[in-house]
Amino acid sequence: MMWDQAEKLRKMVQSSSGKKGSSVIKANRTNARVITVTSGKGGVGKTNFTVNLALALAKLGQRVLIIDADLGMGNVDVILGRSTPYNILHLLDGGFSLMDIITEGPLGIKFMSGGSGLYNLANLDDSQLTRIINKITLLDDLADIILIDTGAGISKSVMNFVVAADEVIIVTTPEPTAITDAYAMVKTYVSHSGTAVLKLVINRVMEPDEGKIAADKLIKVALKFLGLTISSLGFVYEDSNLVKSVKKQTPLLLAFPNTASARCIEQIANRLLDRVASSKTTGVKGFFNKLLGLMR
Ligand SMILES: Nc1ncnc2c1ncn2[C@@H]1O[C@H](COP(=O)(O)OP(=O)(O)OP(=O)(O)O)[C@@H](O)[C@H]1O
Ligand SMILES: [Mg+2]
């Protein structure tokens, strides 16, 4: 895509920000915080973490929406035990509103499937893109926090979601291979000139020290060799209840709310709200603006 075309896309996103109605629904509200959840290595627990974090944030009074951006292997719906037949591309159909493609989950959390459409936005023609963008930017009024669950982050398509977000949560296990892959992911992120605020969660730790040591290692190396600041959000215990919750298709926070691992996730939710969102939170509009620029 040529630069001027990308510029046109950006203008479309920007002009949709002034849409009538949105300011009425959410007067004086700030934009949604767009947080991408990713990892270096696959299978480290991103999707389970994302769903349970969403529930923990909902318990704290936040309006949360999860966007499943894991192409092919997306399984937020499986973990929630609710499936949705629709995805972002259905917004192209004049008969579909944003609410039609959003599914309500437990504790009022909302969930939406990105489908392949999320990765192919740049292939849409201008009128198709306008139609999608006009609808999708209404998300700023519907959610305080938007969590985007991605696949592992090294590929270019996933990296776009990482670079375009205001905040990124990197999930890793304490295993050396997972830490090495997380570092490789962060390095790729730096080469893409990312400016998001990076946060780290160590999943599947046997004892608090293991989590702390793994986090410190990655944080120190990223600072020393990449000049990059990553903050730690904490850790989540290795817990067989997590495996059980997946089998039950009931998220840990609902199936086993009193476990130590559930408390870990609640603590992480608290920390996420403690740390004031960066002033450059640009919301859904800003996110899609950047995403389209990167996809050109
Ligand atoms: N804290 C934990 N304790 C025990 N098992 C866990 C924990 N977190 C995740 N798991 C196990 O790891 C599996 C994979 O988790 P999940 O699907 O959330 O990973 P993922 O990072 O999203 O994978 P992918 O990269 O394929 O998207 C779960 O089904 C569960 O069995
Ligand atoms: Mg996943």
Question: Given this model, what pLDDT does residue 26 score?
Answer: 39
Pocket test for ligand 1, best of 49, 242, 268 (most atoms within 8 A of CB): 242
Question: Given this model, what pLDDT does residue 22 score?
Answer: 37
How many angstroms separate the alpha carbon of residue 191 from the centre of ligand 2? 24
Residue with token string 């400016």 = 195
pLDDT above 60 (res 3): no
Question: What is the C-alpha end-to-end distance of the chain, expressed in Å?
Answer: 5
How many angstroms separate the alpha carbon of residue 112 from the centre of ligand 2? 14
Pocket test for ligand 1, best of 41, 46, 47, 48 (most atoms within 8 A of CB): 48
Interval 18-67: pLDDT, tens: 443 333 343 345 789 999 999 999 999 999 999 999 999 999 999 999 99
pLDDT above 80 (res 89): yes
Question: Given this model, what pLDDT does residue 29 score?
Answer: 56
Interval 253-269: pLDDT, tens: 999 999 999 999 999 99
Neighbours of 124 (CB within 10 A): 18
Strand segments (E) across the chain: 33-38, 64-68, 102-104, 110-113, 145-149, 167-172, 197-205, 230-237
Interval 120-157: pLDDT, tens: 888 888 888 888 888 999 999 999 999 999 988 778 88
Q: Could you tell me which residues are beta bridge partners of residue 33?
A: 145
Mean pLDDT (the chain, rounded): 87
Q: Ligand 1: which residues within 6 Å by Cβ?
A: 39, 42-48, 70, 73, 151-152, 203-204, 236, 238-239, 242-243, 246, 261
Going from the N-terminus, what domains does the chain have, and what CATH number goes with each? 3-10+30-295 (3.40.50.300)
The CA distance from 172 to 273, in Å, is 21
- The share of the chain scoring above pLDDT 90, in percent, equals 60
Question: Given this model, what pLDDT does residue 74 score?
Answer: 62
Q: How far is CA 101 from CA 97, 111, 150, 191, in A?
A: 7, 9, 19, 35
How many angstroms separate the alpha carbon of residue 263 from the centre of ligand 1? 17
Q: Which residue has the higher pLDDT, 291 or 296?
A: 291
Task: Yes or no: say if 53 and 146 are a contact pair by the CB < 8 Å rule.
Answer: no
How many angstroms separate the alpha carbon of residue 50 from the centre of ligand 2? 9
Nearest CA owner, ligand 1 atom 9: 45
Atom of ligand 1 nearest to the CA of 246: 29
Q: Which of the four pLDDT bands, split at 50, 70 and 90, describes residue 72?
A: low
How many angstroms separate the alpha carbon of residue 33 from the centre of ligand 1? 24
Q: Which of the four pLDDT bands, split at 50, 70 and 90, describes residue 114?
A: confident
Comparing C-alpha atoms, which of 146, 166, 129, 181 is closest to residue 278?
Answer: 166
The CA distance from 147 to 105, in Å, is 14
Q: Which of the four pLDDT bands, split at 50, 70 and 90, describes residue 7?
A: low
Longest dimension (CA), the chain: 54
How many angstroms separate the alpha carbon of residue 76 from the centre of ligand 2? 7
Atom of ligand 1 nearest to the CA of 42: 25
